[in-house]
Amino acid sequence: MLSVHQLTCFLAAYEQGSLTRAAEELGYAQPSVSEQIRTLEKSLGVQLFRRVGRGVTPTTVADTLRPYAERVLASIDEAERAVRSVRSLETGTIRFGMFGTARLYAGADLVADVLERYPGVRVELVGQNSTDVQEELRRGRLEAAMIAVAAASSEGMTITPVARDELVYISADPERVASPVTAARLSQASLVMPETTWRANDSTRIVLRQMLHETGRNPMTRIEVEDVETAVELVGMGLADSVVPRGVVDQLLPRLAPDAGWVSLRPRQHDILAIVHRADAILSPAAQLMIELATHRIQEICEPVRPR
Amino acid sequence: MLSVHQLTCFLAAYEQGSLTRAAEELGYAQPSVSEQIRTLEKSLGVQLFRRVGRGVTPTTVADTLRPYAERVLASIDEAERAVRSVRSLETGTIRFGMFGTARLYAGADLVADVLERYPGVRVELVGQNSTDVQEELRRGRLEAAMIAVAAASSEGMTITPVARDELVYISADPERVASPVTAARLSQASLVMPETTWRANDSTRIVLRQMLHETGRNPMTRIEVEDVETAVELVGMGLADSVVPRGVVDQLLPRLAPDAGWVSLRPRQHDILAIVHRADAILSPAAQLMIELATHRIQEICEPVRPR
DNA sequence: GCCTGACATAGGATCGACCTATGCTTTCTG
DNA sequence: CAGAAAGCATAGGTCGATCCTATGTCAGGC
């Protein structure tokens, strides 16, 4: 019989490509992990890793097993969370992923909403970068999240669009925001982009790359900074221009770059804000609450999107 | 940590409404099930059953847990089934290395052969260049491959020759293919060689270098192109001559260089096509299948070599 | 009040998980 | 090319979890 333990060790070994590192990650000695993998292989009757000098390499069977193993662990995790959250809306912790612009202008209000209804709970908004959030979702450590996503859906995830947010060009130079910005003009601009936006697999990045690609040019020289706030400040100082969601403009421009203006791109482009969770997940009451509240908040600020 | 075992016992008890009957169903003694439930309750910190005289009755928490527990067991089951179906080649991915001329004239047919017998599988032919293939073999990321090899065997690899393919001289100039080409004539020729052939550690390269060496000259000026197809086309345009395996001639010459002719070298030289795998490897059914099919295909096209 | 069905507890046997120590092979390095 | 380093396998021992049988306890039925 497969055990959770074996699958945990298997996944760690798969991801680390090494039994030793897997053991470190799990806090065990190396032979223990080795033994778990061996019994797992034996009980399945297949070889999962090839031992070859440095480290281990997964076989194709291991590739096949991996998503199933992840799913088992995720469902175990869901089970635990479900039980805890039965009384947990009184006392537990609610975790919710929220990355990108969504976090920026709905985070605080969302926490307030939850606390108003359930004064006893602890709220945790996870979301330094979207790779983390997606990884936590995939691993089942996070039930659901609201993130800005590209149109394409990730494997095994259910993506429910709730709102869209226009991407606009901001600049301290009035001339450059006098008329909609085309791809050609964009390719010549000197932009500052928050690193999170560039690295993230979200609409902003994809849209901009596509626009640049159409001009037949390489990506322009650009400044990368850590967060949107800094980017907006730099724009306010006239050091560069940027492309940000409309919500950010309303939220930050008056405060951080009062002299800057904004204008649409041509054609208009949008970030899609969506709720994302594992396709096979049963959502806990807490997660459903967060989704409901977050959707409500976002749709107050951005243009709602009705799912088909 | 939740264990599968605990959940199994929980579900049996939930459905039977009795620990004794649950134990019977599972083939355990009653105290064993009792203990499992108790540890489960302890680790979750909640009461799952109320002990009321006759039998046990689930609490609301147990009602909540049940669908999650069922899901966990179902996903475990799916994981096992997935692996078993891979084992029987019903699904999963088969990876096989195939470099050089072998890939060129057996690749597509080989994939077709596999898919005909096992419609569910995904086939992956690895083989952009032979260095990659050998590296992947050595690292254990590939189980087996068919490549054109030099007579010398690589360390730690088992090499099983299956066919040989004559190396012939091709040219658009009828005079130059009127009689067998000797080393001396070869050294004066202006050749175009596909880069893959030159860089690979295969017979072609070794044979030609040896022939050139005998004339006491350095390698002749030559054109290097990316693939065999391009080389043959250049020959067809009369820009250079080349040395390619006989199989390539049959396959490509009529299509890409209809006016070119070919002639043997003197003495005749051959590429050896062989199955290569790690000497210590136990080959999976999938790999054995690929080897069998690939060998069959190749021997239809080239002259079979019987291993001693 | 006694019997019966059903869960809890106790104590011992067995199995599995984990550890440390060590050996072997591959890979890196001087 | 030899020695060091890294990484997996094996061996042997400890400990805890699991499972068993036997027995205790409690509620419901006659």
Q: What is the pLDDT of residue B126?
A: 75
Task: Give me the CA A247–C1' D18 separation in Å, rounded.
Answer: 58
Residue A123 phi/psi, 5° resolution?
A: -110, 135
Q: Is B42 on the interface with A (CB under 8 A)?
A: no
Task: Give me the CA B260–C1' C14 separation in Å, rounded.
Answer: 79
Task: Give me the CA A200–C1' D30 separation in Å, rounded.
Answer: 75
pLDDT one-digit tens code per residue, A179-203: 999 888 887 787 877 655 544 455 5
Which residues neighbour B37 within 8 Å (Cβ) at sequence distance 6 or greater?
Answer: B6, B9, B10, B13, B19, B48, B49
Cβ contact A19:A56 at 8 Å: yes
User: Would you say the C-beta of B39 is within 7 Å of strand D?
Assistant: yes
For the record, the structure tokens of A166 come out as 């226009």
pLDDT higher than threshold 80 for residue B106:
no
Q: Is A178 on the interface with B (CB under 8 A)?
A: no
Least confident of A90-94, A239-243, B140-144: A90-94
What is d(CA A52, CA A146) in angstroms, rounded to the nearest whole number?
42
Cβ contact A68:A239 at 8 Å: no
pLDDT higher than threshold 60 for residue B152:
no
Model confidence at A37, pLDDT cuts 50, 70, 90, reads: very high
Task: Give me the CA B143–C1' C25 separation in Å, rounded.
Answer: 19
Q: Is A63 on the interface with B (CB under 8 A)?
A: yes
Q: How far is B239 from chain A, CA to nearest CA, in Å? A: 34
pLDDT one-digit tens code per residue, A226-267: 677 788 888 888 888 888 888 888 878 888 888 899 999 888
Q: What is the nearest nucleotide to B16, using C1' and CA? A: C6
Q: What is the nearest nucleotide to B49, using C1' and CA? A: C7
Task: Select, from the ranges A107-116, A129-138, B191-200, the one with the highest average predicted confidence (pLDDT).
Answer: A107-116
Cβ contact B223:B234 at 8 Å: yes
Task: Give me the CA A139–C1' D4 separation in Å, rounded.
Answer: 39
Cα B44 to Cα A93, A109, B49, B79, B265: the distances in Å are: 15, 32, 13, 25, 79
Task: Select, from the ranges A42-56, B222-236, B271-285, the one with the highest average predicted confidence (pLDDT).
Answer: A42-56
pLDDT one-digit tens code per residue, A276-300: 887 767 777 777 888 888 888 888 8
pLDDT higher than threshold 80 for residue B285:
no
What is d(CA A230, CA A34) in angstroms, rounded to the nearest whole number?
48
- CB contact under 8 Å between A79 and B94, yes or no, is no
User: Would you say the C-beta of B120 is within 7 Å of strand C?
Assistant: no
- In A 49-78, which Cβ lie closer than 7 Å to strand C? 52-54
Residues of A in contact with B94 (CB under 8 A): 60
Residues of A in contact with B58 (CB under 8 A): none
- CB contact under 8 Å between A2 and B76, yes or no, is yes
How many CB atoms neighbour CB A141 within 10 A?
15
**Residue type at B41?**
E
Residues of B in contact with A1 (CB under 8 A): 4-5
What DSSP string runs through chain B? Answer: ---HHHHHHHHHHHHHT-HHHHHHHHT--HHHHHHHHHHHHHHHTS--EEE-SSSEEE-HHHHHHHHHHHHHHHHHHHHHHHHHHHHTTSSSEEEEEE-THHHHHHHHHHHHHHHHH-TT-EEEEE-S-HHHHHHHHHHTS-SEEEEEE-SSPPTTEEEEEEEEEEEEEEES-GGGGSSPBPHHHHHHS-EEEEHHHHHS-SHHHHHHHHHHHHTT-PPPPEEEESSHHHHHHHHHTTS-BEEEEHHHHHHHHHHH-TT-EEEEEEEEEEEEEEEEEETTPPPPHHHHHHHHHHHHHHHHHSEE----
Find which of B14, B86, B123 to mutate to test the A interface (most A CBs within 10 Å of its CB). Answer: B86
Least confident of A100-104, A164-168, B286-290: A100-104
Q: What is the pLDDT of residue A198?
A: 47
Q: Is A7 on the interface with B (CB under 8 A)?
A: yes
Model confidence at B55, pLDDT cuts 50, 70, 90, reads: confident
B50, burial (CB in 10 Å: exposed 0-12, middle 13-18, buried 19+): exposed
Q: What is the nearest nucleotide to A17, using C1' and CA? A: D7
pTM for the predicted model, two decimal places: 0.68
Cβ contact B68:A143 at 8 Å: no
pLDDT higher than threshold 80 for residue B185:
yes
Q: Which nucleotides of strand D lie under 7 Å from a protein CB?
A: 6-12, 18-22, 26-28
Q: How far is A201 from chain B, CA to nearest CA, in Å? A: 27
Q: How far is B279 from chain A, CA to nearest CA, in Å? A: 12
Find which of B11, B60, B83, B87 to mutate to test the A interface (most A CBs within 10 Å of its CB). Answer: B83
Q: What is the pLDDT of residue B111?
A: 81
- In B 44-103, which Cβ lie closer than 7 Å to strand D? 52-54
Cβ contact B12:B33 at 8 Å: yes
Residue with tokens 């951005």: A302
- From the list B5, B82, B286, the residue facing A68 with the nearest CB is B82
Sign of CA dihedral B49, B52, B57, B59: negative
Q: Is A138 on the interface with B (CB under 8 A)?
A: no
Q: Which nucleotides of strand C lie under 7 Å from a protein CB?
A: 5-11, 17-21, 25-28
Q: What is the pLDDT of residue A151?
A: 45
Q: What is the pLDDT of residue A170?
A: 93
User: Would you say the C-beta of B139 is within 7 Å of strand C?
Assistant: yes
Q: What is the pLDDT of residue B153?
A: 47
pLDDT one-digit tens code per residue, A165-178: 888 999 999 999 99
